[in-house]
């Protein structure tokens, strides 16, 4: 079966006119029940096919989807038919992935497969959302101002969605013909299946460009302005110090395709805290952005699929990591002065930030400016006297231009992005050019980027490239390459796990459905080669993994991995490189049907220490979910470790700055 056949098998491919109603004429309550009269005036559609496993078979139950729009936004109502006693509802925090009943609505706001949004509500009203960039780059950091509710009804369950126009970036379009794409997806927990319309399995390259097409008329949302003022007070009992803060965040959309946002004297005290990570490696940990101001409209600043995933060596590679803005200040601590590590690592206060994003035809653009306030902490000198240490705040500037052409089959784009950080001790700028290609036959995807950094007069260069080839659905070849010289420095405003690295990796994935006695069988081979400028391999090996899903939805995985002999040029932290011998690793895992109330799992991991001592880890666990809003997990783990490597060398103090994995 060809790759294109997945989209061609969709029951509706031509654009249809979406029903429109006046908001003032609706008597609508978003409660999950399709009791409003407006739903009865709309003809439902189905077209669901099984995409997990990717058999593309017709769905077992009927799914009736209805959709209409008003001057405020889009409404979606869905009736999910299935036996009531088979419903699986599990309530979790936002953006939690779990086996259960759920429904997804995807919106291609660009109308031609360039960018969009996905929103999912699970039975019980738990939500997941994110943004989409071509072709299927999902960014789940975004939390949008949409809403949805679910309800258990006779013959299954239903859901209602409302997505306001104000949350979407809409390109300029003719008043009588605005194209938009819609995708619907349904997860059926007790079957351990996912269905979608159009049928777009993950084993094919196509996604947002193949959404179901609708035409809309008379959509020109009025200019909207939203603001969030705040007043806060903080009292430090240790220092007997009280601080008052007053500020606001403002979001203004003067037109459908432009948004201006500003944050004045922001207070991010209500932002979700980061997970606690004990990092014993020589590499910096990447933390995702969680502040709403920096998340809104951030996708225009995406330059590569590696920005939000660990496709690259060690983690994301990105020119813009907004977590640098407002991070710990740059203090110069004189000899003989002692300070608290928590003071040195405390976040900087922002004076303000502003961001402009928009679109003009095929050109998308964005700019971001931010200014930090000066910081002051207390230190203790050799005589025990208190001294004041001051740090000047940094100024940040980001610019982005992206030209995208999706007028014919396939898609092509080229973009530029530049960043600048100004500080008395730091003068850093980074520039990059990125190119992207999606072939008309949906078999080839290419993403590439070249970068140059200039930090305090030191220039570095780098390049990354990803090539994906799908000769047919269920088979994927991916080649990833990269070059980062030892002077490349993205970490003043971006994120790079390490420089002085070249890599050439290959990944082959084969997904098979309808194998006799199995639901699915997945095979993966990953071969990686990474070396430094001394031509020393710093990471090299090959992984082979096979995973089975049985007819009863139990799963079994086995992975055999070989790590070739290599050189570690980072863990020594300046005290010297050392060789690491080659080693084998075997990992196997079994789990029972995840849709059941009681789930069992077993895992065995046979590996060895970096310098050779063997160790084996075994785990047995159980999960119990008797009701929707309660879960209990218990694991027993046993580790047989013959030796533990403890590094003794250069001490890393709070004042030691790590840059690209090396002390500076």
Span 534-584, pLDDT tens digits: 999 999 999 999 999 999 999 999 999 999 999 988 877 777 888 889 999
- Counting the structural domains of the chain, the total is 2
With respect to residue 250, please indicate whether it lies within any of the assigned structural domains. no
Residue-wise pLDDT tens digits, 276-324: 777 777 788 888 888 888 888 888 999 998 887 665 566 789 999 998 9
How would residue 347 be classed by pLDDT, with cut points 50, 70 and 90?
confident
Among the listed residues 268, 263, 232, 230, the one whose alpha carbon sits nearest the alpha carbon of residue 249 = 263
Mean pLDDT, rounded, for 500-516: 92
Domain end marker among 216, 240, 274: 216
How would residue 471 be classed by pLDDT, with cut points 50, 70 and 90?
very high
Q: Which residue has the higher pLDDT, 225 or 303?
A: 303
What is the helix (H) or strand (E) element at residue 444, kind and residue range?
A: strand 444-455
Least confident of 153-167, 336-350, 362-376, 593-607: 336-350
How would residue 652 be classed by pLDDT, with cut points 50, 70 and 90?
very low
With respect to residue 271, please indicate whether it lies within any of the assigned structural domains. no
Is residue 53 within 8 Å of 193, Cβ to Cβ? Answer: yes
What's the confidence (pLDDT) of residue 357? Answer: 92
Query: How many residues can be counted in the chain?
Result: 664
With respect to residue 142, please indicate whether it lies within any of the assigned structural domains. yes
Six token digits for residue 185:
């997806």
What's the confidence (pLDDT) of residue 654? Answer: 36
Six token digits for residue 272:
């979700």
d(CA 482, CA 140) in angstroms, rounded, equals: 26
pLDDT of 35 strictly over 80: yes
What's the confidence (pLDDT) of residue 181? Answer: 93
User: What b-and-e string marks burial along 45-80, b requiring 16 or more CB atoms within 10 Å of the CB?
Assistant: bbbbbbbbbbbbeebebebbbbbbbbebbbbbbbbb
Query: CATH number of the domain that 79 lies in?
Result: 2.60.40.1190
Six token digits for residue 384:
């025990």
What's the confidence (pLDDT) of residue 7? Answer: 45
Least confident of 79-88, 340-349, 354-363: 340-349
With respect to residue 282, please indicate whether it lies within any of the assigned structural domains. no
With respect to residue 207, please indicate whether it lies within any of the assigned structural domains. yes
Residue-wise pLDDT tens digits, 126-153: 999 999 988 888 888 888 889 999 999 9
What's the confidence (pLDDT) of residue 651? Answer: 43
Is residue 262 within 8 Å of 296, Cβ to Cβ? Answer: no
How would residue 496 be classed by pLDDT, with cut points 50, 70 and 90?
very high
With respect to residue 303, please indicate whether it lies within any of the assigned structural domains. no
How would residue 222 be classed by pLDDT, with cut points 50, 70 and 90?
low
Mean pLDDT, rounded, for 207-219: 88
CA 173 to chain centre: 29
How would residue 361 be classed by pLDDT, with cut points 50, 70 and 90?
confident
Domain end marker among 175, 191, 216: 216
pLDDT of 663 strictly over 60: no
Domain end marker among 194, 216, 238: 216
Residue-wise pLDDT tens digits, 179-195: 999 999 999 999 989 99
What's the confidence (pLDDT) of residue 3? Answer: 39
With respect to residue 266, please indicate whether it lies within any of the assigned structural domains. no
Q: Which residue has the higher pLDDT, 366 or 377?
A: 366
d(CA 518, CA 332) in angstroms, rounded, equals: 62
For a pLDDT cut of 70, what percent of the chain falls above it?
91
What's the confidence (pLDDT) of residue 270? Answer: 54
With respect to residue 474, please indicate whether it lies within any of the assigned structural domains. no
Task: Look at residue 29 and give its three-state secondary structure.
Answer: coil
pLDDT of 6 strictly over 80: no
Q: Is the peptide bond before 198 cis (omega within 30 degrees of 0)?
A: yes
Least confident of 117-131, 495-509, 650-664: 650-664
For a pLDDT cut of 90, what percent of the chain falls above it?
50
Which residue segment(s) compose the domain that 22 sits in? 5-216
Least confident of 8-12, 227-231, 434-438, 484-488: 8-12
pLDDT of 425 strictly over 60: yes
Mean pLDDT, rounded, for 331-352: 84
Please provide the average confidence, as pLDDT, over all residues in the chain: 86
Residue-wise pLDDT tens digits, 618-633: 999 999 988 888 889 9
pLDDT of 10 strictly over 60: no
């Amino acid at each position: 079966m060809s790759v294109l056949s997945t989209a061609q098998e969709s029951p509706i491919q031509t654009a249809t006119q979406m029903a429109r109603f006046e908001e003032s004429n609706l008597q609508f309550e978003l409660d999950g029940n399709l009791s409003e009269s407006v739903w009865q005036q709309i003809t439902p559609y189905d077209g669901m096919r099984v995409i997990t496993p990717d058999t593309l078979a017709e769905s077992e139950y009927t799914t009736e989807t209805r959709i209409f729009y008003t001057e405020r936004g889009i409404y979606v109502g869905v009736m999910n038919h299935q036996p009531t006693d088979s419903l699986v509802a599990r309530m979790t925090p936002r953006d939690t992935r779990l086996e259960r009943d759920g429904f997804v609505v995807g919106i291609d706001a660009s109308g031609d497969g360039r960018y969009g949004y996905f929103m999912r509500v699970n039975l019980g009203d738990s939500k997941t959302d994110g943004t989409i960039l071509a072709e299927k780059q999902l960014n789940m950091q975004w939390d949008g101002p949409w809403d949805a509710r679910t309800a258990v009804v006779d013959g299954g369950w239903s859901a209602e969605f409302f997505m306001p126009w104000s949350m979407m970036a809409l390109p300029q379009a003719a008043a009588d013909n605005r194209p938009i794409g819609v995708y619907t997806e349904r997860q059926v927990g007790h079957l351990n299946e996912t269905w979608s319309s159009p049928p777009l399995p993950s084993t094919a390259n196509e996604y947002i460009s193949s959404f179901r097409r609708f035409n809309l008329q008379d959509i020109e949302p009025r200019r909207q302005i939203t603001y969030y003022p705040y007043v806060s007070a903080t009292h430090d009992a240790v220092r007997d110090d009280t601080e008052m803060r007053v500020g606001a965040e403002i979001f203004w959309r003067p037109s459908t395709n432009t948004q201006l946002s500003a944050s004045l004297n922001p207070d991010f005290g209500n932002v979700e805290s980061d997970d606690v990570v004990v990092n014993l490696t020589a590499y910096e940990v990447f933390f995702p952005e969680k502040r709403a101001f920096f998340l809104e409209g951030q996708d225009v600043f995406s330059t590569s699929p590696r920005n939000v995933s660990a496709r690259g060596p060690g983690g994301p590679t990105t020119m813009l990591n907004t977590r640098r803005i407002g991070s710990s200040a740059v203090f110069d601590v004189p000899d003989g002065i002692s300070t608290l590590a928590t003071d040195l690592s405390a976040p900087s206060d922002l004076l303000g930030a502003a961001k402009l994003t928009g679109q003009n035809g095929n050109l998308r653009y964005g700019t971001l400016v931010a200014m930090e306030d000066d910081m002051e902490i207390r230190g203790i000198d050799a005589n025990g006297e208190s001294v004041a240490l001051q740090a000047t705040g940094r100024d940040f500037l980001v610019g982005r231009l992206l030209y995208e052409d999706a007028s014919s089959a396939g898609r092509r784009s080229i973009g530029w992005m530049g960043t600048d950080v100004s500080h008395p001790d730091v003068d850093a700028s980074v520039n990059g050019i990125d190119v992207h290609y999606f072939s008309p036959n949906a078999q080839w995807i290419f993403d590439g980027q070249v970068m140059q950094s200039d930090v305090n007069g030191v220039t570095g260069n780098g390049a990354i490239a990803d090539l994906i080839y799908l000769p047919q659905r269920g088979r994927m070849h991916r080649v990833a390459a990269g070059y980062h010289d030892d002077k490349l420095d993205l970490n003043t405003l971006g994120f790079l796990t390490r420089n002085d690295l070249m890599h050439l990796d290959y990944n082959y994935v084969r997904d098979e459905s309808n194998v006799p006695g199995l639901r699915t069988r997945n095979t993966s081979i990953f071969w990686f080669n990474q070396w430094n400028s001394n031509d020393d391999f710093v990471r090299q090996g090959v992984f082979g993994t096979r995973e089975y899903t049985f007819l009863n939805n139990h799963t079994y995985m086995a992975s055999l991995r070989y790590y070739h002999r290599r050189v570690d040029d980072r863990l020594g932290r300046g005290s010297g490189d050392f060789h690491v011998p080659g080693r084998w690793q075997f990992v196997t895992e079994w789990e029972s049907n995840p849709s059941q109330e009681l789930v069992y799992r077993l895992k065995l991991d046979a590996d060895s220490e970096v310098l050779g001592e063997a160790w084996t880890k075994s785990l047995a666990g159980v999960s119990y979910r008797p009701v929707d809003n309660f879960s209990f997990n218990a694991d027993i783990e046993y580790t047989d470790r013959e030796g533990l490597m403890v590094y003794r060398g250069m001490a890393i103090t709070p004042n030691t700055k790590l840059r690209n994995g090396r002390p500076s």
